[in-house]
Amino acid sequence: MKKISTIVLTILTVATVYGQNFEGKITYQNSYKSKNPKMTDQLWTSMMGSKQEYLIKGGNYKSIANGTLVQWQLYINKDNKLYSKMSNSEKAFWSDASVQGDKILKTEINKGVTKVLGYKCDEVILTCKSGVQKYYFNSALSVDTKLFANHKFGNWFEYLSKSNSLPLKSVIETAQFTMQSVATEVKPVKLDTKTFELPVGIKTEKSSY
């Protein structure tokens, strides 16, 4: 269970005009292919969620999933902490985002590999100790990479430093499963800063994973 919890925390960790930083919501459809004989594709999908809403404003982001285990994840930039809320605990567990927890062995960039929602996407491939991570992006969904310079967790800054953009598609391979996440909607919208605050009264604790 500890190994699964570690994977869950890591996996949770993804503009209206070109040249502007994207603010708004991206909706993703997620699917899983299990490599664990004790876990079916359907069980992984149910636990992790088949649908994910990703909200971003400046250097803060929040991810909301429809999983039976995974509920939401919140990155608060000023603290450089990544909070994860699971259904099996009333607490939100936080991770120090400056801790990478992985090792990147090779990085590749390929141009014009695929299209997602009409966006022509380039590809970043990170070959890591944990597995292979592939991201597909278009600069229309640009971000200020400097805001995430200390977000090493999940190899997030490493990816952003090559793309300067949010992914429209990703394929993440681990020892336990392969996850594919594909954007189904991109909605630029001004978001309330309160969206990126912890719920009032929620207890937090440092993650042990």
Backbone phi, psi, residue 110, to 5°: -125, 140
Which of 80, 135, 81, 133 is CA-nearest to residue 104? 133
What is the three-class DSSP state of 87?
coil
- Please state the rounded mean pLDDT for residues 100-109: 94
- Given this structure, which CATH class describes domain 2-206? mainly beta
38-53 pLDDT per residue, tens: 999 999 999 999 999 9
Q: How confident is the model at residue 101 (pLDDT cuts 50, 70, 90)?
A: confident
List all residues 6 or more positions away from 195 whose beta carbon is below 8 Å from its beta carbon: 55, 57, 62
Question: What pLDDT digit, counting tens, does each position of 62-85 carry?
Answer: 999 999 999 999 999 999 999 999
